[in-house]
């Protein structure tokens, strides 16, 4: 972009100079207007005037050629400027692409570094897990052995406890059986005594009931006799007067 601006400034300066040269008047007209010039009849002056005229015509032709050349250069310059701008645009686009490629390469390098770090971490983790797994297997085997020994000791202990429990149960059952027999014997003796007392009481009650029954029969007989006397009196009182 800076090169294009400098080229535009240079081209403007050239075009200003061309315009200035085209706007200048011919030297012959200038000579004719110069005060104190020699008369036309002077041969030296005439010769000089012819030379000046030739120079002016040559300068005019040169100026015309120069103007055409500058016009061609102007067209070429504009074409170059367009190409330059296209090239500059392409350069800017390429710069952006190169920057993008550089960023991608930097990102790819960072990604490769990250992948390498992850690979190393993975290998370290896998090594750690392998060691840990080996320790776990050893600890598992040790625990299995300890558990096996514990289960065996527990089985022996339970067997001893069961045997001790059975002995205690047998002893307790024997004691309970003896105690039960003693209680049954005591209960039988008590029941026998209660039965004998109940039989005596029942005999006494039967004797009392017999006495009361005899008394009741006597009262009923006396009542029947009393009712018979009442009935006889009523019949006797209700006879003919």
Structure tokens at 187: 């209960």
Q: What is the pLDDT of residue 25?
A: 42
**What pLDDT does residue 11 have?**
58
pLDDT in tens, the chain (241 residues): 555 566 556 556 655 655 554 454 444 444 444 444 444 456 666 676 677 777 777 766 766 777 777 777 777 777 877 888 888 888 888 888 888 888 888 888 888 888 888 889 888 888 888 888 888 888 888 888 988 898 999 889 989 888 998 898 889 888 888 888 888 888 888 888 888 888 888 888 888 888 888 888 888 888 888 888 888 878 777 655 4
Nearest CA among 22, 98, 106 for reference residue 60: 22
Evaluate whether 77 touches 11 at the Cβ level (below 8 Å).
yes
Residues 6+ apart with CB under 8 A from 80: 7
The domains of the chain are located at: 2-31+46-113
Q: What pLDDT is recorded for position 27?
A: 41
């Amino acid at each position: 972009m800076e090169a294009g601006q400098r080229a535009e400034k240079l081209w403007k300066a050239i075009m200003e100079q061309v315009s200035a040269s085209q706007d200048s008047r011919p030297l012959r007209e200038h000579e004719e207007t110069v005060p104190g010039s020699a008369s036309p009849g002077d041969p030296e002056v005439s010769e000089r005037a012819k030379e000046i005229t030739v120079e002016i015509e040559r300068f005019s032709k040169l100026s015309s050629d120069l103007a055409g050349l500058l016009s061609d250069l102007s067209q070429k310059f504009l074409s170059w400027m367009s190409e330059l701008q296209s090239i500059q645009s392409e350069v800017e686009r390429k710069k952006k692409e190169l920057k993008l490629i550089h960023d991608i390469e930097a990102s790819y390098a960072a990604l490769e570094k990250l992948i390498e770090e992850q690979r190393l971490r993975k290998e370290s983790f896998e090594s750690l897990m392998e060691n840990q797994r080996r320790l776990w297997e050893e600890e598992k085997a040790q625990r299995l052995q300890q558990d096996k020994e514990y289960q065996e000791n527990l089985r022996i202990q339970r067997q001893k406890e069961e045997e001790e429990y059975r002995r205690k149960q047998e002893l307790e059952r024997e004691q309970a059986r003896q105690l039960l027999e003693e209680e049954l014997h005591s209960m039988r003796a008590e029941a026998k005594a209660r039965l004998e007392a109940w039989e005596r009481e029942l005999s006494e009650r039967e004797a009392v009931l017999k006495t009361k029954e005899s008394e009741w029969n006597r009262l009923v007989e006396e009542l029947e006799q009393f009712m018979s006397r009442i009935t006889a009196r009523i019949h006797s009182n209700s006879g003919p007067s």
